[in-house]
Amino acid sequence: MKPQDILQECLERLEQGESLETVLARYPTQRDELAPLVALATQVRQAAPSFNESAKSRVRYQVYGAARVRAVPRAHPAWQTWLARVASSVLMVMVLGASALVATAESAPGKPLFPARALFNEARAQRIADPRAALELHLQNAEERLEDVRIRYQRHQLNEAAIFWMVGATENLMVTVENHPYVLDHALLARIRRLILTERALLRDLIKNAPVERARRNAETLYQLSATWEPLLNRGLGR
Amino acid sequence: MDASSSEATLIQQAQQGDAKAFGQLYERYADRVYRYLAFRLRDAMEAEDLTAETFIRVLQHLPHYRPHGTPWGAWLFRIAHNVLIDHWRHSTRHQPLALENGATVENGTAARALHHVLTRADLERGIAQLTDLQQQAITLRFIAGCSIAETAYVMQRSEQAVKDLQHKALIALRKSLER
């Protein structure tokens, strides 16, 4: 019998509940070679990271959500639309005043006038009747909001409102995805997936590095909300 | 009803769209999948995300799973492995796992057989010295608790090759820790 087969036999016996001494006693001639390897395997097992309860319940929420949307079409949860509704009401008021800013150089992500232009574009997206065009504009808005947050974060100029607006823009996008899944194609899908991935990574980073506890908690709440985006996307594709 | 037949029933129910049955499969495997991903990623939050991604991908591919072909655990860990590879393809950042550097693993008979108590940081450093295949084998076998057959399926190698890898990995790890 080869040493690697003997080692495996020892490990199996340990897994079945035999004590180390009993297992090693079965192989007296190989004992000296086997003992440290079996011991090491046991130590590696004990070094396994644990899945803490709060992390497990966050993942459970995502996975169960995905399983439910696959099984039964569901009503749109209230929390998913509140950001969109609030944004929509505010945006309508801002439209006229902001329209003059659209083309200025100072309205790119990270620039002082960006929030006003973003509000204008978000209001415009809400009023577009063609679902494909609306989805594309929502996606562009969400990408710009994300870019704005990323730039501000790098410059240490990030404020919580910018983070809320970023998540709100992606929420608007996902509501459109859910209502009009048939307009998705592979190119849009890839962009949305990339957006979700990057935005969630940024939120994770904020959770880790937020300067104050309140900001960390807010980022954590938004991170949890963002957990349903991927399942929504999958449902949109009918998977 | 034994464990494997009840698992087969759960899989069948999940394939028919029973969310509750899928939830039970999640509860059975979530810890092991997370441990595997967290140990390889060395980042708890990324591991959390990829655990969710794994189960969502399992859900997507569930209609294609054939109960009489590959064992469920092996199939699931193959998906977790692919999720990890995809993640690494799109990411250049590797961070050390946030384990307490001074934390020691249990000091039982096994530890005495190794003549000294190792810290988790020792083990991490030692495992990081192994080849990627050896790391995969060690993580799947001892962290995720996969059987030799499951590990062989995930790594797309023969069972004998996995036993060889496991043996060589432990020898290399021992040498690395003794340095």
User: Cβ–Cβ of B163/A4 closer than 8 Å?
Assistant: yes
Token pair of A61 as six digits: 């929420």
**A42 and A80 both lie in a single domain:** no
A175 and A101 in a common domain: yes
Residues of B in contact with A37 (CB under 8 A): 167, 170-171, 174
Taking the C-alpha atoms of residue A14 and residue A159, their distance in angstroms, rounded to an integer, is 55
Token pair belonging to B85: 């590879």
Which of A8, A45, A51 to probe by mutation at the B interface, max B CB count within 10 Å?
Answer: A51
The residue of chain A nearest to residue B103, with distances taken between CA atoms, is A47
Q: Do both A34 and A127 map to the same domain?
A: no
Closest among B50, B143, B85, B35 to A204, alpha carbons compared = B50
Percentage, residues of chain B above pLDDT 70 = 82
Is A63 a member of any domain? no
pLDDT of residue B70: 85
**Contact flag A43-B53 (C-beta cutoff 8 Å):** no
A35: CB partners within 8 A, 6+ apart: A20, A24, B113
Same domain, A15 and A105: no
Q: Residue A18 carries which side chain, given as an amino acid letter?
A: E
Q: Which residue has the higher pLDDT, A37 or A182?
A: A37
Cα B84-B86-B89 angle, rounded to 5 deg: 110
Mean pLDDT of all residues in A82-104: 53
Least confident of A10-24, A29-43, A63-77, B16-30: A63-77
pLDDT of residue B106: 42
Looking at the complex, does the CB of residue A17 fall below 8 Å from at least one CB of chain B? Answer: no
Regarding whether A87 and A188 lie in a shared domain, the answer is yes
CB contact under 8 A, B45 and A43: no
Q: Is B137 on the interface with A (CB under 8 A)?
A: no
CB under 8 Å to A202, separation ≥6 — which residues? A146, A149, A150, A153
Task: Give the closest of B39, B56, B90 to A49, CB-based.
Answer: B39
CB contact under 8 A, B45 and A58: no
The whole-number pLDDT of residue B131 equals 93
The list of chain B residues with pLDDT below 50 reads: 1, 94-116
Residue A146 covered by a domain: yes
The CATH code for residues B103-179 is: 1.10.10.10
**How many inter-chain contacts (A to B, CB under 8 Å) are there?**
158
Q: Could you tell me which residue, B1 or A48, shows the higher pLDDT?
A: A48
pLDDT reported for residue B4: 58
Confidence of residue A239 (pLDDT cuts 50, 70, 90): very low
Which residue, among B48, B76, B120, would best test binding to A if mutated, counting the most A CBs under 10 Å from its CB?
B48
Does a structural domain hold residue A15?
Answer: yes
- Range(s) of the domain holding residue A31: 3-46
- Supply the pLDDT for residue A83: 56
> Quick check: helix, strand or coil at residue B119?
strand
Q: What residues 112-131 of chain B have any CB closer than 8 A to a CB of chain A?
A: 112-115, 118, 120, 123-124, 127
Q: What is the pLDDT of residue A44?
A: 92
d(CA A88, CA A52) in angstroms, rounded, equals 38
Work out the number of other CB atoms within 10 angstroms of the CB of residue A30: 16
pLDDT over 60 (residue A113):
yes
Same domain, A35 and A95: no
Whether A26 is covered by a domain: the verdict is yes
Scan residues 50-69 of A and list those with Cβ closer than 8 Å to B.
50-51, 55-56, 58-60, 62-64, 66-68
What span, in angstroms and rounded, lies between the C-alpha atoms of A213 and A198? Answer: 23
CATH code of the domain occupying B1-96: 1.10.1740.10
Q: Are residues A81 and A198 in the same domain?
A: yes
The per-residue pLDDT for B115 is: 45
Are A20 and A128 found together in one domain?
no
Find the range with the poorest average confidence among A56-70, A94-108, A186-200, B27-41: A94-108
Q: Give the tens place of pLDDT for each residue, A66-87.
A: 776 665 433 444 444 555 555 5
The region of weakest confidence among A44-58, A92-106, B32-46 is A92-106
- Mean predicted confidence (pLDDT) in A5-9: 94
- Domain spans of chain B, in order of start: 1-96, 103-179
Q: H or E stretch including A226?
A: helix A213-226
| Inter-chain touch B38–A49, beta carbons under 8 Å | yes
- The token pair at B97 is 């796992």
Global pTM value: 0.58
pLDDT averaged over chain A? 79
A193-207 confidence digits (pLDDT tens): 889 989 988 888 888
Write down the H helix ranges in chain B.
Answer: 3-15, 19-41, 44-61, 72-89, 109-113, 120-128, 132-138, 148-155, 159-178
Please say if the pLDDT value at position A102 is more than 90.
no
- Say whether B110 and A39 touch across the interface (CB within 8 A): yes
A120 shares a domain with A212 = yes
Total domains in the fold of chain A: 2
